[in-house]
Amino acid sequence: MSGRSFIGVREDLEAAKHRDPAARSRIEAALTYPGLHAVWSYRIAHRIHTSGHRFIARLLSQLTRFLTGVEIHPGATIGRRLFIDHGSGVVIGETAEIGDDVTLYHGVTLGGTTWRHVKRHPTVGDRVLIGAGATLLGPITVGADSVVGAGAVVVHDAPAHSLVLGMPATSRPRSPSDVSEHHWVI
């Protein structure tokens, strides 16, 4: 394992411990968190994919989906310290782009809206939290420091610092009362 890979694993474990109060230790998270396993497998599959071995990368991603319940296309672009809490049912499409320090809860879909070979999946900025069961569709952008509420269906761009709610979701500026350091109010 390269030094950079080891640092990435350590950062992922720290992110899990910081963002999940139920995480008692890094070793517990490393052994029992399917979201972490899926992200680590994605990172390997992404390297394989970008080296031109796309079929092998897809096989690895599908094996990981079978084992973790999380499907991340190896062509997706994912930043540092992605934390997938509870994992099951998460789907991240091929042209999705995810920034640093993003948190996804179970059942989140970053899906496409066309079969054409174009940018067809969402772009998610840094430090975004996406609640359970939220669906983001198409080549939309959710700006940095936003919160997408559980069950929201997002089909339009949301600027940075937004609270994105509803079906279809609407966005409004976040206020300091929407969030505290330790508690999300949605």
Residue by residue, DSSP assigns 141-178 as: EE-TT-EE-TT-EE-S-B-TTEEEEETTEEEEE--GGG
What's the pLDDT at 77? Answer: 98
Q: How far apart are CA 60 and CA 42, in angstroms?
A: 8
Residue-range domain boundaries for the chain: 3-178
The first and second tokens of residue 149, run together, are 């509420």
**pLDDT tens digits along 44-80:** 999 999 999 999 999 999 999 999 999 999 999 999 9
The share of the chain scoring above pLDDT 70, in percent, equals: 91
> Which residue in 133, 129, 138 sits closest to 162, CA to CA?
129
Q: How far apart are CA 15 and CA 66, in angstroms?
A: 24
Torsion of CA 167, 124, 146, 111, to 10 degrees: 10
**pLDDT tens digits along 127-171:** 999 999 999 999 999 999 999 999 999 999 999 999 999 988 778
The first and second tokens of residue 24, run together, are 């008692």
Q: 3-178: which CATH topology?
A: UDP N-Acetylglucosamine Acyltransferase; domain 1 (2.160.10)
Helix (H) or strand (E) holding 109: strand 109-111
- The pTM score is 0.87
More confident residue, 3 or 159: 159
Peptide bond preceding 139: is omega within 30 degrees of 0, i.e. cis?
A: no
